[in-house]
Amino acid sequence: MSTSNSKPSITAIVAATQSNGIGLDGGLPWKLPGEMKYFARVTTGEEPSSDLDQQNIVIMGRKTWESIPSKFRPLKNRKNLIISNKGIDVKESINTKSFNSIESTFEFLSNSNTNLNSSNKIFLIGGSQLYKTFLITKPPLINRILLTRIISEFKCDSFLEDFKSHKSLKNNLPIWKKSNHLELENWLGFKIDEENEEKGVKYKYEMWTLNEESE
């Protein structure tokens, strides 16, 4: 895929079981309010601005958009970019825009007022199809993954691409490297427990970045 010259720095954020399950029947297989709060806090940023140009961006596929209850969308204090070939039934506003391709989304990112070198963060928030495309493109279209690893198993019908098994063709090293918890906290800008439990469901917050040693 050819994208514009300035490649945006994009972080995928996803919660997945140990067998990479992420969804069931178009929604999430679990209800974990604490994990949802983490998602909202991270994607919104610590001091959400009323100035749209200062807000973080969330990119999602049409099915993920539709999975958000209508009273919660667009996700507040974030610019919502939705990717759909067939278009979506959404009232476009300054913080909700739809695109018919990843290329046109990237075009918008590089031409919009959002300064890609500023402190705005850009997140890919799902779902399965878009995570896969962004991960299997060479080089990947994302450079960081915030993964909530759900330790319990849940019945799922959509899955996260198994990025941990991706190896570089040149030197066969893993493309993704797990950061330590301090590196995650430093990137987030706040402290968070690494291991958590809600309603008997255990989960861990992880961060993965591109492995500089892989070519």
Ligand X SMILES: NC(=O)c1ccc[n+]([C@@H]2O[C@H](COP(=O)([O-])OP(=O)(O)OC[C@H]3O[C@@H](n4cnc5c(N)ncnc54)[C@H](OP(=O)(O)O)[C@@H]3O)[C@@H](O)[C@H]2O)c1
Active-site residues, by number, are 28, 35
Nearest CB to ligand X, comparing residues 56 and 128: 128
* Phi, psi of 131, rounded to the nearest 5 degrees: -55, -45
Who's near 5: CB < 8 A, 6+ residues apart? 110
Q: How far apart are CA 65 and CA 75, in angstroms?
A: 9
- Touching ligand X, residues 19-48 (CB under 6 A): 22-23, 26-28
Residue 84 makes contact with ligand X by CB under 6 A? yes
**Nearest CA to 77 among 44, 46, 53, 106?**
44
Given 10, 15, 32, 109, the residue binding ligand X (CB under 6 A): 15
Which spans in 45-199 are helix H?
A: 62-67, 102-111, 128-136, 181-188
Q: How far apart are CA 54 and CA 69, in angstroms?
A: 25
Residue 126 makes contact with ligand X by CB under 6 A? yes
206, two tokens: 């992880």
Given 8, 20, 62, 106, the residue binding ligand X (CB under 6 A): 62
Nearest CB to ligand X, comparing residues 28 and 116: 28
130, two tokens: 């878009």
From 41-49, 73-81, 98-106, 111-119, span contacting ligand X (CB under 6 A):
98-106
Total number of residues that touch ligand X (CB under 6 A): 28
How many other C-beta atoms can be found within 10 angstroms of the C-beta atom of residue 51?
7
186, two tokens: 């430093």
Residue 75 makes contact with ligand X by CB under 6 A? no
Given 128, 142, 146, 207, the residue binding ligand X (CB under 6 A): 128
Given 101, 118, 137, 180, the residue binding ligand X (CB under 6 A): 101
- Give contact residues for ligand X (rule: CB under 6 A): 14-15, 22-23, 26-28, 60-64, 67, 83-86, 100-102, 125-130, 133, 158
